[in-house]
Amino acid sequence: MDNTRMRAEDIQAYERFNIRQRMSLTTNRYVVTVARPDGSDGEVVAFAEQKRISLKEQMTIYTDESRKSVLSTFEASQVLDIGAEYEVRSGTGQIIGSFRQDPLASVARTTWNVRQPGTMDLIGQERNRVVGVVRRIWGLLPFTDFVPFLWPYHFDFTESGKRLMAVDKKFGLRDRYVLDILAPDIDRRLAITQAVALDALESR
């Protein structure tokens, strides 16, 4: 196996990933690694970069920082449309799933609908209502785009009430997340894309 790039089929064997955000005044960078048993970072499996002044309706996620190979992409069905569906494609352009924010359900707690065609439909929702409300108030304050929301928050993705995936934000000055996948048939590319989008689309 290439030591600098892990293939999509190899990623499917892993259940836990670390996602770290590297912030600057102009750019947000996301580095996704396999989580080792002790929680430390293993091999890099994904890298994404987003200009702060750019539109947020699309993003390309590469297999590593060399940007030589695309892991996945997402793009909104409509620009600047609340509740727009984001189509997720593989590096070869094949549709592997989609996600969209549910505007009505998100009034109290941010809620996402994630669809993997022919396999599952997940509902992702903030675990803690109080943290959800506080985080929304924080987002309305001026200059918070450059000051991260420090308190940890968590998203559970369920189907028929059964938790199949989770994204947990860890306490710290920089955004750091742990992605847990509890169902073997969830496409890891779709899961990683959704986890990155949780931060990228809302400037968390």
Give tens-digit pLDDT for 154-184.
899 999 999 999 999 887 656 789 999 999 9
Query: What architecture is the 8-200 domain classified under in CATH?
Result: Alpha-Beta Barrel (3.20)
Whether 204 has a pLDDT exceeding 50, the answer reads no
Whether 198 has a pLDDT exceeding 50, the answer reads yes
Beta strand spans in the chain (E): 16-23, 27-35, 41-51, 58-62, 70-76, 85-90, 95-101, 111-116, 120-126, 154-159, 162-169, 176-181
- How would you classify residue 80: left for phi > 0, otherwise alpha for psi between -120 and 50, otherwise beta? left
For residue range 99-111, what is the model confidence (pLDDT) as tens digits? 999 988 887 788 9
Domain limits, the chain: 8-200
Which residues lie across from 88 on neighbouring strands? 74, 97
Say what the pTM is. Answer: 0.84
